[in-house]
Chains A and B, each alone.
Chain A
Amino acid sequence: MNISSKIVDDFVANDISFVTTVPCKQLGGVIEEVEARPEILHVPSNKEDEGMGLCAGAFMGGKRPAIIMQNTAIGVTINTLVTLTQFYRLPLPMLISFRGELKEPVACQAEMAVHTKPLLAQLGIPTYHFHRQDDVEEFDAILKYTFMCNKPVAILTDATFWGGY
C-alpha cells in the first residue's frame, strides 16, 4: 500500500480541495501527492500559523481545507489554534509528522516530541497517533469526524508509520 496515495485519496473522497503545507522530510511523499492532484489547490505556507489563516479563509469561502506540517508547529500555532480555529469553530484536519519518536536520528526533535501530546491534550484537540501502516485505515473516519464536529483534529504520524527515514 502506498500510504501517501491512500491519504490523499481520502482527502479527495472527503471533498478536501484546499491543502496548505510546511514541509518535513517525512512528509515529502504526501506533499508531492497533494501537488499532483488536480482536485486539490495546494498553497504552500511559510509558517504554520499563516497556513491556518489560509485554511480558515478557504473554509469560509466554501472549500474544505487541511494542513500538513511537523509536530514542532504545535509550538508555533497555539495562539492561532485557540483564537482562530477553535474560537470560530472551524474544522481543520492537521496531518502532522511526529518527529522525535522511535527511529529518530536528530536529538533535538525528541525535545518537542515529549511536549506534543501534552500540548494537544491541554488544548482539547482530538488526537490520533498513526504508528502502524494499517492505522491509516482510520484516516477517512477521522476526516469525517473533523468536519462533523468543526474542530481542529491532529493526526500524528511517526517514523514507524512512514517506514523509517
Chain B
Amino acid sequence: MIRSEILREIAPILRPHLVVCNIGLPSQEMHLIDDQPTNFYMLGTMGLASSIGLGVALAEDRTVISIDGDGSVLTNLGTLPTIANNVADNFILLIVDNGSYGSTGDQPTYAGKKTSLAEVARACGCENVVECRAEDTGQVLQKAIDAGRMTVIVSKCESGNVKVPVITMDPVAIRDRFMQSMAG
C-alpha cells in the first residue's frame, strides 16, 4: 500500500477536521483526492507541516491533523520535543512513513533504515505514539480522533507515487479559505 492509497482510504475520516498537508505529493494527492476548504496545502517549506499543525491546534479547539512524511519529519526533528512539551489534545501528527523522499524520486531516508521515528517520538516525550501498518491507518486515526488525546501515528507503507498535477491555487486563497472554514 502506498501513500496515495492511504490518503484515499482516510479521506472520509479527515473530511470534518482541519488538515495540514505536507509539501509536494502529499498535498497534491490530497488536493486531487478530496479537496476541502479545511485542508491547508503547503506549497513550499519542507519540514514544517507538524509545526504549522501544532500552531493551529494550540490556537483553535477543533481537531487538527498534520499529514507529514518521514523525510520531512527528519528534516525538522526538533518538532517532536516541541510537540511533546506543548500538549494539544486536539492535535494528531500522522507520519506517512514510506522510508523515502517520495516527491524527489524515492531516494531512501534513514527512517527506512535504522531509525525508528516512533521510537524517536517516544524518546522526545510524546506520550501517545502508535506505529501501524498502512492498512490499519484509518482505524488507528479514527481511534486517535475519538480519544481526544494528542497522538503521533507512524504509518509504515510502501514507497511509490501516482501521477498528480501540481496545485495551482494561489497560496493566499488556500490560506484565506482555510481560515474562513474555521470561522464558519
The residues of A with any CB-CB pair to B shorter than 8 Å are 18, 41, 43-47, 49-63, 65, 79-80, 82-84, 87-90
State whether A54 touches B44 (Cβ < 8 A). no
With A43-B82, A50-B48, A84-B48 already in contact, the answer to whether A57 and B43 are too (CB < 8 A) is no
Quick one: which of A44, A56, A62, A82 contacts B52, CB cutoff 8 A? A56
State whether B44 touches A61 (Cβ < 8 A). no
Quick one: which of B44, B78, B81 contacts A87, CB cutoff 8 A? B44
Contact stretch, chosen from B54-62, B93-101, B114-122: B54-62
| Complex Cα gap A59–B138 (Å) | 29
| Complex Cα gap A63–B45 (Å) | 21
Sorted from nearest, which 4 A-B pairs have the closest CB atoms? A57-B55, A83-B44, A53-B51, A61-B59
The residues of B with any CB-CB pair to A shorter than 8 Å are 20, 40, 42-45, 47-48, 50-60, 76, 78-79, 81-82, 86, 171-172, 174-175, 178-179, 182
State whether A45 touches B56 (Cβ < 8 A). no
State whether B55 touches A61 (Cβ < 8 A). yes
State whether B40 touches A60 (Cβ < 8 A). yes
| Complex Cα gap A79–B172 (Å) | 17
- Residues of B with C-beta under 8 A to A53: 45, 47-48, 50-52, 55, 76, 79
- Residues of B with C-beta under 8 A to A65: 55
Instruction: With both chains docked as a complex, state the minimum distance between the C-beta of B46 and any C-beta of chain A, in angstroms.
Output: 8
What's the count of A-B pairs with C-beta under 8 Å? 113
State whether A60 touches B54 (Cβ < 8 A). no
A53-B45, A57-B54, A63-B59 given. 6 additional CB < 8 A pairs?
A43-B58, A58-B56, A60-B179, A80-B48, A82-B44, A84-B44
State whether B174 touches A47 (Cβ < 8 A). no
State whether B82 touches A49 (Cβ < 8 A). no
State whether B171 touches A61 (Cβ < 8 A). no
| Complex Cα gap A56–B43 (Å) | 14
| Complex Cα gap A7–B86 (Å) | 24
Instruction: With both chains docked as a complex, state the minimum distance between the C-beta of A84 and any C-beta of chain B, in angstroms.
Output: 4
| Complex Cα gap A103–B60 (Å) | 43
| Complex Cα gap A18–B43 (Å) | 24
Q: Please, which residue of chain A has its CB at the minimum distance from the CB of B75? A: A49
- Residues of A with C-beta under 8 A to B52: 53-54, 56-57, 60, 84
Quick one: which of B45, B56, B86 contacts A60, CB cutoff 8 A? B56
State whether B59 touches A18 (Cβ < 8 A). yes
- Residues of B with C-beta under 8 A to A49: 45, 47-48, 76
State whether A90 touches B175 (Cβ < 8 A). yes
| Complex Cα gap A58–B53 (Å) | 9
| Complex Cα gap A61–B175 (Å) | 11
- Residues of B with C-beta under 8 A to A82: 44
State whether B51 touches A57 (Cβ < 8 A). yes
State whether A83 touches B175 (Cβ < 8 A). no
Q: Please, which residue of chain B has its CB at the minimum distance from the CB of A50? A: B51
| Complex Cα gap A88–B172 (Å) | 5
State whether A89 touches B58 (Cβ < 8 A). no
State whether B86 touches A43 (Cβ < 8 A). yes
| Complex Cα gap A56–B59 (Å) | 11
Instruction: With both chains docked as a complex, state the minimum distance between the C-beta of B166 and any C-beta of chain A, in angstroms.
Output: 14
